[in-house]
Structure 1
Amino acid sequence: MSPRDVVFPPGRQALYERNRYSPAVRSNGFLFVSGQVGSREDGSPEPDLEAQTRLAFDNLNAILQAAGCTFDDVVDVTVFIVDPASKFETIWKVFPDYWGQAPHPTLTGVGVTWLYGFDFEIKVIAKLPESDEG
């Protein structure tokens, strides 16, 4: 097996190495991005839900940018929400600021009971630009 083609956003490699996973991997023309949460630089959760959601998107966008992509290249999205019945509206109102214009990517939403102290997580698959396909 060839080594994984890992993408690291600027300034957060130590955080990923400490937690023993890759933020994103290029493979067969796609970028597979690990779930991103609203973590601060030190990895701790942003306590305000709306700010945490925005920070998760910002962290996601940093990875996409490091791979030469934007959210417009995203084809599939999975979101995880702790207690979605009470938090969905706050989280969902942030999406238009990051989501872009239609047509939108596919979306799967999953309600969960625990996200390591976070309330929202987003993971995506993006199509790499032709020159970056691996």
Structure 2
Amino acid sequence: MPAQNEAIFPANRHALYEQHRYSAAIRSGDLVFVSGQVGSRDDGSPEPDFKKQVALAFDNMKAVLQAAGCTTDHIVDVTTFHTDPESQFGDVMEVRNTMFNTAPYPNWTAVGVNWLAGFDFEIKVIARAPAA
């Protein structure tokens, strides 16, 4: 029998989901696959201040996790995308360290990219949902 996938959206669904036709997350069994979250404001536009953009991306990711009944403690895998990793990494790590400050830490892969649709940072995660 095929797995039943459930679309997850945070309470304040921003314009990017509708505009680009994707789900904020998909729950498949006890795994929650969160789509790449960017530092978008409510209207979907990029936050121009980089450090605030990173913090907003993390906040958007946390909102999606919360909608799925998860917290950052349930994250097992993180992938981040950076338009200028060398100059941005300090700010990213500063924000990251406020989110993940207790071991065991999730897996983490950071990828340098040259385009993020007007954004400079994106984070996607996989979490294991707590038992109901």
Do Structure 1 and Structure 2 share a fold, with TM-score over 0.5? Answer: yes
Alignment of 1:82-101 (within 5 A): 82-101=83-102
Pick closer, same or farther for the CA change 1:18–1:3 going to 2, 3 Å.
Answer: farther
* CA 1:23–1:37: 2 relative to 1, 3 Å: same
How far did 1:18 drift?
2.1
**CA distance in 1: counterparts of 2:17 and 2:42, whole angstroms:** 11
Contact 2:3–2:29, Cα closer than 8 Å, also in 1: no
What amino acid is aligned across from residue 8 of structure 1 in structure 2? F
Alignment size in residue pairs: 131
Point out 4+ residue stretches in structure 1 off by more than 2 angstroms: 1-4
Deviations, residues 37-78 of structure 1 (Å, cap 9, x unaligned) = 000000000000110000000000000001110000000000
CA root-mean-square deviation:
1.4
Given that residues 76 and 106 in structure 1 are in contact (C-alpha distance below 8 angstroms), is that contact kept between their aligned partners in structure 2?
yes
Secondary structure of the corresponding residue to residue 95 of structure 2: coil
What does the per-residue CA deviation read over 1:69-113, in whole Å, with 9 as the maximum and x for residues that have no partner?
000000000000001111111211111111131110000010000
Runs of at least 5 residues in structure 1 that lack an aligned partner in the other structure: none
Report the 3-state secondary structure (helix = DSSP H, G, I; strand = E; otherwise coil) of the residue aligned with 2:123: strand
User: Percentage identity across aligned positions?
Assistant: 56
Q: Normalising by the residue count of structure 2, what TM-score does the alignment of the two structures yield?
A: 0.94
Distance 1:121 1:45 in 2: 11
Range that drifts further, 10-19 or 92-101: 10-19
